[in-house]
Amino acid sequence: MRTYNLRIPVVNTSPAPPTRCPFCGGGFFKALQVCPKPLRDLEYEEVEAMRYRCLRCRRTFRACPAGVSRAHHSDALRAVSVVLYLLGIGYGVVAFFLALLGSTLKKPIG
What does the DSSP assignment read for 17-38?
PPSS-TTT----EEEEEEEEEE
Whether this prediction's pTM lies above 0.75 is answered by yes
Q: Kindly give the confidence (pLDDT) of every residue in the chain, 110 residues in length, as a single tens digit, with 9 standing for 90 and above.
A: 788 787 888 898 888 999 999 999 999 999 999 999 999 888 898 999 999 999 999 999 999 999 998 888 899 998 888 888 888 988 888 888 888 888 866 655 54
Q: How far apart are CA 84 and CA 82, in angstroms?
A: 5
Q: How far apart are CA 50 and CA 34, in angstroms?
A: 5
- The pLDDT of residue 3 is 82
Look at residues 89, 63, 88, 75 and name the one whose alpha carbon lies nearest to residue 39. Answer: 75
Q: How far apart are CA 30 and CA 12, in angstroms?
A: 22
